[in-house]
Amino acid sequence: GENVEQHPSTLSVQEGDSAVIKCTYSDSASNYFPWYKQELGKGPQLIIDIRSNVGEKKDQRIAVTLNKTAKHFSLHITETQPEDSAVYFCALKGGSDMRFGAGTRLTVKP
């Protein structure tokens, strides 16, 4: 099946700084790329997604970029706040099932 490589596994930033998480994949048939945020004791929550016909999408402080040629997509969080601290998962879908990265634990220090 499709492997999704996610980096870094942990990320610590100062409040107000930006955070970037990157995922790479190999299957060019992948056409849907969501990002999920998972807080302790909760299920993953969709925060933003992008489809393969779009290169960039932004929602307030969160943006996702997709480079289909290089087969990678990234999550950008600007002006980070302590409540952004969580585990973030990238995922992708090209066939019937969704594949997830291993996750990035983001810590925003006040």
Cβ-based nearer residue to another protein, 83 or 97? 97
- Beta-strand ranges (E) seen in the chain are 5-7, 10-14, 19-24, 32-38, 45-51, 56-59, 62-67, 72-77, 86-93, 98-100, 104-109
For residue 65, the minimal CB distance to another protein (Å) is 18
Nearest to 86 by CA among 68, 59, 107, 61: 107
- How many Å is the maximal CA-CA distance in the chain? 41
Contact code string over 24-63 relative to another protein, x by CB under 8 A: --------x-x-x----xxxxxx--x--------------
β-strands 62-67, 72-77 pairing: antiparallel
Nearer to another protein among residue 68 and residue 78 (C-beta): 68
Provide the minimum distance between the beta carbon of 103 and another protein in the complex, in angstroms, as a whole number.
6
32 versus 59: smaller Cβ distance to another protein: 32
Binding site for another protein (CB under 8 A): 4, 6, 32, 34, 36, 41-46, 49, 89, 91, 93, 96-98, 100-103
